[in-house]
Structures are given as structure tokens and as C-alpha cells.
A and B are shown apart, each in its own frame.
Chain A
Amino acid sequence: MTEEEVATCIRRAAGGAQDAHRELYQRFQGSVRRVALGYSALGPAEVEDVVQETFVRAFRELPRLQHPRAFGSWLVTIARHHAQSLSRGAQVRGRAAEDLALELETTTPAIPPALELERRVAVVRELIEELPEGPEKETVRLFYLEGELSAREIAERLGLGKSAVTMRLERFRARVKRQLLSRLLAAGVG
């Protein structure tokens, strides 16, 4: 789906078109699910809950989204907040819900051309290529490139503890953040 097609879909979905909702769901549910599946504390039902809740909230707030190009990053932000609140337990869920409400009000990121999605994906692929062959690369490959297994399932397959898989994924994610932040600062956004 091209950027223009996504923008058209978002406009139609904001007007209530069901087929546009379906197309957006099918296009973006994988990214949202990846966020939730990275939390090894979450079971399959909770992961599904994150996916469903993310899209329900996003579709209800869609008419307020000012930048269609920000839709993907907006979705994963909602998903991460919800996954965090579920993984941390009921005590902090109320606070996370408040944070989420604030997020929905204010999220209007400006992404420089050097960090358009396509460029970012290329950066991530390069970083994966650069990883030395070994358990970290295997974990990252299974989780992000193949994208079928949860952190829990990868732990079972590799005979590791859940926290070891989460740690590897977080470490790689930090490497991606470091590289993207460098580019963001170089582009003068910082």
C-alpha cells in the first residue's frame, strides 16, 4: 500500500468506511502485534487485547489525526503504552490510560525526509546485517524478520529464559534508536 493509498484510506476510515478500516487493520496489525509480542510478560490473550484496543482507540480518534503520514507511528505509540500498562499490572494502568489520552491529543511528529519509513527500514536491515552471527542475530531475525513468533515462543525454541530474549530484543532496539537519533540530530530536528 503506497503512502498516498494509506492517506486515502485514513480519510475514508475517518468518514466511517468499513472497507477502509479493514485495509488499515490488515496493513498495520502486524506492526502493532510486534510491539505487544515483544513483552514476554504478556500472554496470547493479552497480546490480542493490545492489538484490538489499539485499533479501537485509533479508529475512534481518527478524525482528530492531523497528519496521515503519522498514522503508523501513532498506532505503535498507542500499542506500546497499552502493552506497558498490561505488563506492569493493574496498579499503573490508570496512569497509563491518562498518558495515552494526552498522547492522542498531542502526537503530531514531524519526520525529516532522511527518516522516512523506507529509510528507517533500510537502516534497521543494515544493523541486522552487521550483527555477528550468533544468538542475538538469531533472536532478532526470528522476531523481527520472520515475525511469526512471540518473545515467549522464541525463548522456548532457543531454550532460553523469557527475560534473556526480551533483553536481546531491547538491546537491539536500543541500537536502532541510537542510529535513528544520530540521523535525527544530523537533520536538525533535535
Chain B
Amino acid sequence: MSDAGRHLDARSWRALRDKSPDAVAYFADHLSRPCEVCEAFLERADGEDAFGLEAMTDEALGTLAPVREDAVGWARLRKRLGSPRRVWRPGAVAVAMAAAAAMVVFAVHPALLTGEQPGTSVRLKGGGALALELTALARLPDGALRPLTDGASLPPEAVVLIRYRSSELAHALLALESPDGSVQMLGAYTLEAGTHDLREGDALAGVSLEGEHGPKTLVLAAWPRGQGAEEARDAALAQGRVPEGATLSRLGLRVTPEDAR
């Protein structure tokens, strides 16, 4: 067969995959110019990707558009990646962590998360003067934003955006608690003094309610920033423990499917 008539097909593809010098040299040149026959073969190619061509192509094509933040998608993903639900141990005692800051931590007692009126903050034993308030907006499936009051009913497709007021710079953990006392840790944050949206980098932090049902309580636990480094804060997230002296603020929600409301 003369070189001029050769196009990509199953046979020449095998030759390329086997690194036949003749095929490699010919097609390196031939494919540098438009060829409808070869492009039709590549369009149909749907099997083994011996050259990693599919991924290289998709990666390049996917990089063309501007990068856009996706706070809702991240909220859903973070929840799926989150630590398994745990039950806080009632009456847990203070323990010393081996973290750099050797901060004193303890597990949150369920009563502390559920026993107070909404809108107030609760200081745990030995607490300082940190004042903390938690409010929230829901981004609904149709894109609308709705301010939330305590006990608000929301569909599981909603994403909750948190706003806080803190009297000072603070480290914080956000958790979602169920009536049975199980708690899902959602993230570790640094709070600024004043009233702010809870943020992760440049994006708003959102809480996905996907997979949830019934009453839930969002709990923001914060403690003055001086008490330990960010590593200790992240360790607190991993262990589901907050330092002695943390202040808690919370918001009750009810997750109900749209068609049951």
C-alpha cells in the first residue's frame, strides 16, 4: 500500500500501539494535517485508549472556559467526604491533645447542643468572653435565597449558607446534629471579628442537606484564636472535639421533601 492512501483504521491503530517505526513516522506527519477519514476514525474510537489521548483531549478542552466557583457543588461533596457520623459521649471529660498547642478539648454533650433557646450562645465550662451569633440563608433548588428562622422547614436539595457575628477573631467548627445525638462535623473555619458570611477561601461555605431527613441542628462552636494553631483546630475537626471554653451557637432546621410540605 502506498503511503498516500493510508489512514487510521484498526490495523494501523495496532501498528501505532505496537510502536511500528514506519507507522509512527508516517502518521506523525499525516495527522499533522486535516484528514476527514482519520478524524472519523478517531471520533468513533471508543475502546482502549492506548495513548491517553481521550484524557489529554478532555483536559485541554475543559481548561478553555474561565474557572467558576461552585459553592453548592462543594457543599454537597464536602458532606459526602465528611467524617462518619458519631455520637458525642455524654459527660466526656477534658483530655489533653498532643497537638502543637496542647489545647484542652472535650466532646460536646448533646444537651449543650439542644437544650438552649435559639439565637443565644452557650459558653462551655471555663469559657471566655467570646460572643457568637449564627444566622442563615437557604439557597433553594430554584436558585432563590430565603432567610431562615429557627425550626425552618427545608427540602433536602437546599443548601444552607451561614452568617455569623463574633466578638473577636476565633477558630470554629461547624457541625450538623440529629436528635439522636449523632453529629456530623462539617468543617473547620477561622472567624473574623464582626458580622460576616462563613467562607472557605473566596467562596461562601454552604451546608448541603442532601440525604438528611427530619429535625437537624446546625451548631457553630468557636473559641478565641489565641488558643492553639490551625493544626490544632483541624485536629479538633478530625476528632469531633472542641476546646474547653468554646462558645456554641445553633440553629434548628427541619428537612422535609418538597412534596411532603
Contact = CB atoms under 8 A, between A and B. Distances in A.
Given A27-B67, A55-B77, A115-B56, A181 B31 contact: yes
A34 B65 CA distance: 9
14 contacts: A17-B234, A22-B200, A31-B58, A55-B77, A76-B55, A174-B40, A176-B60, A177-B53, A179-B32, A181-B31, A182-B28, A190-B19, A190-B28, A190-B51
B62 A31 contact: yes
Interface in B195-238: 200-201, 203, 234, 237-238
B42 A145 contact: no
A48 interface: yes
B56 A120 contact: yes
B125 interface: no
Contacts of A73: 52, 55-56, 58-59
With a 10 A CB-CB cut-off, give which of B16, B57, B69 has the most chain A CB atoms.
B57
Nearest to B68: A30
B39 interface: yes
Interface in A141-181: 144-148, 170-171, 173-181
With a 10 A CB-CB cut-off, give which of A29, A48, A80, A145 has the most chain B CB atoms.
A29
Contact of B78 (A16, A22, A107, A188): A22
Contacts of B65: 30, 34, 144-148
A76 to B, nearest CB: 4
A184 interface: yes
A164 B187 CA distance: 44
B42 A181 contact: yes
A56 B80 CA distance: 7
A26 B60 contact: no
B66 interface: yes
B10 interface: no
Interface string B103-123: 000000000000000000000
B51 A26 contact: no
A35 B62 CA distance: 7
B164 interface: no
Given A30-B67, A34-B61, A56-B80, 20 more contacts: A17-B234, A25-B77, A34-B58, A35-B62, A48-B73, A51-B73, A52-B73, A73-B55, A73-B58, A74-B55, A109-B55, A109-B56, A124-B64, A144-B65, A148-B65, A173-B57, A177-B42, A181-B42, A182-B27, A185-B27
A41 to B, nearest CB: 15
A164 B94 CA distance: 65
Contact of B39 (A18, A174, A189): A174
Nearest to B63: A121
Which 4 pairs across A and B sit closest by C-beta, in order of nearness? A147-B65, A31-B62, A182-B31, A73-B55
Given A22-B200, A52-B80, A120-B60, A181 B66 contact: no
A137 interface: no
B254 interface: no
A162 to B, nearest CB: 17
Contact of B73 (A19, A25, A184): A25
A168 to B, nearest CB: 11
B34 interface: yes
Interface string A39-66: 0000000001001100110010000000
A24 B55 CA distance: 18
